[in-house]
Amino acid sequence: MKPKTNPGLKIIALNRKASFNYFFEDLLEAGLSLKGSEIKSIREGKVNIADSYAIEKNGELILINSHIALYKHAGYSNHNPTDERKLLLNKKEINKLIGKMQRDGFTIIPTKMYFKKGKAKIELAIAKGKKQFDKRATKKNRDWNRDKARYIRKSS
């Protein structure tokens, strides 16, 4: 029997590096304000959100450093691949996130981009950066879990 998957959710891009570099406090979903050639390029899966983050500009949240490749059939109306993109959130959510960023020193990091009912969405994590010793502990714990699973498989 196949595991059930959400038919309305198609994952486009993952930020695997984020969970290694940051502690996540909360996850939330946001929309993106995109141009036509950007959405067509996203549908082809040509997106990179590995080094991107969100900042506050004029009371809005803006996604920085996300790379959406050029759409080859766009012609003269193509977009800039490293453009800033506006995140679509409620005013209440924006104010809450801006407050956390300014007061508590949190960062807003995208963890994945996906299509939900035909609309491009991005999952944002409110995160705090890990120190070097935290990263070493994470790596050590991951290696131990892998070895433990290997020992259990060999013994049974």
pLDDT per residue over 99-127, tens digit each? 888 888 889 999 999 999 889 999 999 99
Buried b (16+ CB within 10 A) or exposed e, 32-69: bebbebbbbbbeeebbbbeebbbebeeebbbbeebebe
Q: If you search the block for the tokens 């193509």, which residue do you land on? A: 78
- pLDDT higher than 90, residue 129: no
Mean pLDDT value of segment 59-87 = 88
pLDDT per residue over 144-154, tens digit each? 999 999 999 98
Assess contact for 17 and 50: CB atoms under 8 A.
yes
- pLDDT higher than 70, residue 4: no
Contacts of 79 (CB under 8 A, 6+ apart): 35, 37, 38, 41, 68, 70, 71
Q: Is 112 exposed, middle or buried (0-12, 13-18, 19+ CB in 10 A)?
A: buried
Model confidence, pTM: 0.78
Does residue 144 belong to any structural domain of this protein?
no
Mean pLDDT of the chain: 88
Does residue 35 belong to any structural domain of this protein?
yes
Number of folded domains in the chain?
1
- Give me the domain span that covers residue 126: 10-130
Q: Which carries the bigger pLDDT value, residue 153 or residue 20? A: 153
Does residue 150 belong to any structural domain of this protein?
no
Does residue 137 belong to any structural domain of this protein?
no
Q: Which carries the bigger pLDDT value, residue 74 or residue 67? A: 67
Whole-number pLDDT of residue 7: 65
The CATH number assigned to the domain holding 60 equals 2.40.280.10
Amino acid in the structure at residue 65: N
Rounded Cα gap, residues 1 and 24, in angstroms: 33
Does residue 156 belong to any structural domain of this protein?
no
Assess contact for 110 and 56: CB atoms under 8 A.
no
Does residue 89 belong to any structural domain of this protein?
yes
Rounded Cα gap, residues 132 and 22, in angstroms: 11
- pLDDT higher than 70, residue 3: no
Does residue 149 belong to any structural domain of this protein?
no
Which residue from 74, 52, 48 is spatially nearest to 63, judged by alpha carbons? 52
pLDDT interval class at 6 (50, 70, 90): low
